[in-house]
């Protein structure tokens, strides 16, 4: 009886070791994303993110913050992490645009700092910073 238990235990361990490479090969293939443009506009900023890799980018997220202005009167943060406009997988070569208008209408005056980060669960995080100027609802980016 003890020998039968040992044989079953050893067989289970060997089977687990044989299946391990199969399970570990089911990981997500890595890809690369880039922030290719930050552009101003009326009431907000638009950020373009492109999948420059060879595999689909999954769970793409984009965060943009706009801070500054006269007396630091401009403070807007837009986060897209799966529940906002078209946060779907990004195929190779595809471009995703995110607009801060989804977080609110920007209105102020003065110089601002625009910081954007983007990533995916199978891509490294990328960041980009730009300076701009807000004049009422118009955002100009240098």
Lowest-pLDDT range of 1-5, 45-49, 87-91, 111-115: 1-5
17-58 per-position pLDDT tens digit: 666 555 444 456 999 999 999 999 999 999 999 999 999 999
Rounded to whole angstroms, the Cα distance separating 60 from 57 reads 6
Evaluate if residue 62 carries a pLDDT over 80.
Answer: yes
Query: Of 16-30, 66-80, 103-117, where does mean pLDDT reach its minimum?
Result: 16-30
Mean pLDDT computed over every residue of the chain: 85
Cα–Cα distance between 61 and 136 in angstroms, integer?
Answer: 29
User: What is the 8-class DSSP label of residue 105?
Assistant: -
Contact assessment for residue 76 and residue 66, using Cβ atoms and an 8 Å cutoff? yes
pLDDT at residue 65, as a whole number:
96
Query: Hey, what domains does the chain have and what are their CATH numbers?
Result: 33-141 (2.60.40.10)
pLDDT (0 to 100) of residue 112: 97
Q: Report the alpha-carbon distance of residue 81 to residue 104 in Å, rounded.
A: 17
What is the model's pLDDT at position 23?
A: 47
pLDDT band at 88 (very low <50, low <70, confident <90, very high): confident
Handedness of CA 21, 24, 29, 32 (dihedral sign): negative
pLDDT of residue 10: 73
């Amino acid at each position: 009886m003890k020998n039968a238990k040992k044989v079953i235990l050893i067989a289970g361990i060997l089977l687990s070791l044989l299946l391990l490479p199969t399970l570990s090969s089911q990981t997500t293939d890595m890809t690369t994303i880039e922030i290719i443009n930050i552009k101003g506009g009326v009431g907000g900023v638009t950020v373009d993110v492109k999948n420059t890799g060879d595999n689909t980018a999954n769970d793409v997220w984009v965060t943009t913050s706009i801070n500054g202005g006269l007396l630091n009167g401009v403070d807007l943060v837009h986060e897209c992490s799966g529940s906002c406009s078209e946060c779907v997988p990004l195929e190779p070569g595809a471009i995703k645009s995110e607009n801060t208008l989804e977080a609110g209408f920007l209105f102020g005056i003065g110089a601002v700092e625009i910081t954007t980060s983007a990533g995916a669960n199978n891509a490294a995080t990328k960041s980009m910073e730009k300076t701009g100027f807000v004049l009422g609802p118009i955002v100009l980016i240098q």
